[in-house]
Amino acid sequence: MISATVGSPFRLIVTGGGTGGHTYPALTTLRTLQARLRGEGRVVDALWVGSADGLEARVAASEGIPFAEVATGKIRRSKNPLKLVSPANMRDMGNVPRGVAQARRIVADFAPDVVLATGGYVAIPVGLAAKMTGRPLVVHEQTVRLGLANRVLARAAARVAVSAESTVSLLPESAQQTAVVTGNPVRAEVFTGQPDKAVHALSLTGFNRAMPTVYVTGGAQGSMQINNTVSGVLPWLLARANVIHQCGPGNLAALQSQAAALPPELAARYHLTGYVSSELPDVLALADIVVSRSGAGTIAELTALGKAAVLIPLASSAGNEQAHNARHLQAAGAAVALTDEVSPTALQAAIEPLLADPARRTAVADRARAQGTPDAAERLAEVVLSAAARR
């Protein structure tokens, strides 16, 4: 059992990355652990282990978190078994034992009290190294379905944390005994939004606050599919709502020409932007309806905040996880999902009842909130600490 002596550092290895869906829950949990232990007179001595060219390396550098690199192999899945033995897969599979050897040295030298793995291919060598060196491993799954990396690591984990109760039955039987539902950690700043600050920051002087506000987003880079679908109903939508449309920097110029053709009374209620940065919490606070993808991080934020949403899953997401996320919420009455036809007609049919009936909009938002876990970071931090204490 580790010592909880006041002032003794808590040594933590964090691994996971490749995408924001794996990286930011890890970062949020680390920050939550730091805040909690600071109140007990302790510090967190953290090391992030990941891929040098992954998002996690950039996030760790920007946050001042020490970083160590390991080799990683990405398995390119295909329904055609012959494609699984592609040259790229063969090359990357060779990186796996090399990455495990590197990770074993790192874990042995750092001697963490616990290793937290949040998914992505880079988590596999580090998670296996934790098992080899006798260090407790906590695995966190963000999606409704179980990711490939976490499927591998679940059997090696001291504890498995999942974001939804329905995920527990997908775990190996041995891992189900140690599973705990924590939810998916959401950045603390998401909860600090103020609608009026969004109005002022984005100069939304033409918005009619008596009308609902729709926030459209395809993520940081935008989504051509969402942009084109929204463009097909834009005049109709603006007659019924204010719209903040985050379209992606590369799509801005093309959409600006369309916006220029709008009648002035509609154009005044349309804010088109390539990217929403620090204003995002305020934009989310202002929004009555969100039109977006259905990645795990997005779902976590929308449910924690209790937002009515129309979800348009990314068809190419790994394991079709975004469609599963969207269907999961729709089945609970907590969102509307466009999982079959994605067209302006389908979007109009999905969003019109939410715009026309405030009570219905509120009911969907309330059911979304019931699916959310605002304290997920605190719950996962507690799992990490309890796993370390059992050593």
Tens digits of pLDDT across the chain (391 residues): 344 455 689 999 999 998 888 999 999 999 999 999 999 999 999 999 999 999 999 999 999 999 999 998 665 454 554 454 556 555 666 677 888 999 999 999 999 999 999 999 999 999 999 999 999 999 999 988 888 889 999 999 999 999 999 899 999 998 998 899 999 999 999 999 999 999 999 999 999 999 999 999 998 888 999 999 999 999 999 999 999 999 999 999 999 998 999 999 999 999 999 999 999 999 999 999 999 999 999 999 999 999 999 999 998 776 688 999 999 999 999 999 999 899 999 999 999 999 999 999 999 999 999 999 999 999 999 999 999 987 7
387: nearest Cα among 101, 208, 134, 81: 134
291: nearest Cα among 210, 202, 206, 225: 225
218 to 102, 142, 157, 251, 297: CA distances (angstroms) = 37, 19, 34, 11, 13
Same domain, 158 and 205: no
Residue 343 domain flag: yes
Written as one letter, the residue type at 309 is: A
Number of domains in the chain: 2
Same domain, 210 and 198: yes
Domain containing residue 317: 188-371
Same domain, 60 and 133: yes
Same domain, 151 and 251: no
Same domain, 19 and 87: yes
223: nearest Cα among 247, 249, 198, 199: 247
Same domain, 296 and 285: yes
Same domain, 123 and 55: yes
Residue 2 domain flag: no
Asked whether the beta carbons of 342 and 232 are under 8 A apart, the reply is: no
Residue 3 domain flag: no
As a whole number of angstroms, the distance between CA 207 and CA 199 comes to 8
Same domain, 168 and 213: no
Same domain, 365 and 379: no
CATH number of the domain to which 22 belongs: 3.40.50.2000
Residue 1 domain flag: no
Same domain, 166 and 291: no
Residue 253 domain flag: yes
Same domain, 127 and 223: no
